[in-house]
Amino acid sequence: MLDIKFIRENPDLIKDAVRRKRSSFDVDALIKADDERREALKDFEEAKAMQNKVSDEIAKISDPEEKQKKIAEMKEYKAGVEEKEAKVKEVIGVWQRLMLQVPNVPDISVPEGESDEDNKEVRVVGTKPEFDFEPLDHITILEKNDWADFERGSKVAGFRGYFLKGAMVELSFAIFQSFLNDLIAKGYTPMMVPSLVKKELLMGTGYIPGGEEDLYQTQDGDYLAGTGEVAGMGYYMDEVLPKEKVPTKFAAFSTCFRREAGSHGKDVKGLIRVHEFFKLEQIILCEASHEESVKYHEEVTKNAEDFVESLGLYYHVVANCGADLGLGQVKKYDIEVWMPSQQKFRETHSASYFHDFQTRRLNIRYRDDEGSMRFAHSINNTAVATPRFLATIIEQYQTKDGRVRVPEKLKPFIGREFL
C-alpha cells in the first residue's frame, strides 16, 4: 500500500506504474474517492462538533422549557451526525478497496514488457552441460530409479500429487540443510513458519486482492500460504522494531500450497509445477532507504546464486519486466536453471524488494536515529524450493548409465558419489 499523500502528489507517476505493470487500475477513480472521503469526514466532524456544542449548552441551561427546546434541537443534530457517519463508512469502504489495488512504482531499471517473455537476461553463469548421449527428462530418471511415484501421488493427493522416495528425500534434506548452514553463517535467523495464515497476512503481503484464485482457503476463512514470506512478514505485524534489530534477517522454512490457477496444460507431469512443495525463504526488514533496499536485494540474490553456483549448475539471472512484477514489487530478479531435456532455463528462485508497500499494510515500524517512526522496507527471496529444484539437479548430473552424480557440495550430507 502506498501513502495516499504520495499518490495525490504524484498521480502521473502512479499512472505510469499502472502502465508499466499492465494493470487496469484507475488512478483518477481513487483520487475522486479520496476527495469524497475527505469531504465526508469534514462534514461528519463539523456535525459532531455542533452536536457537542449543543450538548454543552444544554448542561448550562437551568430553565426547563428552554432545556427541552435545546434537547429537541439536539435530537435533530444527532440524526444528522448518524447519517453523516454512515456516509463516512460507505465512502471509506470504497476508498480502502481502491487503495489495496494501487500498484507499487517499479524501479527505473525495470525493463518494459508485456509478459515474462520480455524479461531481460542479466548474466549467464556456469558451463552448459553437454552429453554424449540423449539426456533423459527428470520424470524418466525418477521413475527408472524408483525415486518418485506419481500414480500413487495422484491416488492420494489428486492432480499433481506425488510421492518422493529414497535418494530424492536424501537430496531434498541435503539441499535444505546445506543452504540453511550457509545462511546461518551469514547472520540469518532460521525459522519454521506456519503455512496456515489469516487473510490479513495475505492482504498485508499483497497476495490479496488479486491472487485469491491461486490460494487454498479453509472453512474457517484462513488460507494455506504459497510462500513462507507471508507468515514470516507477519512475525512483526503491528510492532515497532528496536533500532538494533534493523536489519532483521530470517531464513523461513515452510510447506507451501498453490492451486496453480491458470496453468492448466502446463507442466502437468513431473515436479516442475505441483500443488504442495517446500521452501526456504530469505526475508529481510531494513531501514526505510532505497539504497538499503537495493543493497539487500542484491545480497539475497547473491546468496541464492552462490548456492546454485556451488552446486555446479548452469543458470542465468533475468530482471523481470514491469508486466511480470507483482502488485507490490519494485524490482524482481529470477534465477532460472538449465533443464537439458527441455533445452531451456526454468525458474527456480525469485528475489524481490517492496520498499514500504508490505510494511505499511502490516504496520511494521521502527524508530530511526532521529527518533522518528518509519515503516521498514522489506525484501524476500526464494533460497531454495523443492521438488522443482531437484529436477534441475538430476537432469544436469545424469550419466550415460542412468545414474545421477551427487554435487560435490552435497556429498558430506549424502555420503556417496552417486544418488
Query: Could you give the residue numbers annotated as active site?
Result: 258, 273, 347, 350, 388
Question: Rounded distance, CA 391 to CA 172, Å?
Answer: 11
Among left, alpha and beta (phi > 0; psi -120 to 50; other), residue 138 is alpha
Q: What is the CA angle 344-110-11, rounded to 5?
A: 145
Contact 270, 254 (CB under 8 A): no
From first CA to last CA, the distance across the chain in angstroms is 47
> 313 φ, ψ to 5°?
-90, 145
Question: Rounded distance, CA 222 to CA 259, Å?
Answer: 15
Q: Where are the beta strands (DSSP E) in 112-177?
A: 120-125, 148-149, 163-164
Question: Rounded distance, CA 132 to CA 154, Å?
Answer: 35
Give the three cell numbers for residue 224: 494455506
Question: Rounded distance, CA 309 to CA 241, Å?
Answer: 35
Report DSSP letters for 97-115, one per residue. HHHTTPPPPPPTTSPP-SS
Identify the bridge partners of residue 253 per DSSP, sorted by sequence position: 192, 280
B/e letters for 273-293, b = 16+ CB within 10 Å, e = fewer, are: bbbbbbbbbbbbbbbbeeebb
Question: Rounded distance, CA 91 to CA 94, Å?
Answer: 5
Identify the bridge partners of residue 336 per DSSP, sorted by sequence position: 316, 347
Q: Where are the beta strands (DSSP E) in 354-395?
A: 364-367, 373-375, 377-386
Write down how long the chain is.
419
Q: How many CB atoms lie within 10 A of CB 215?
A: 20
Identify the bridge partners of residue 142 per DSSP, sorted by sequence position: none
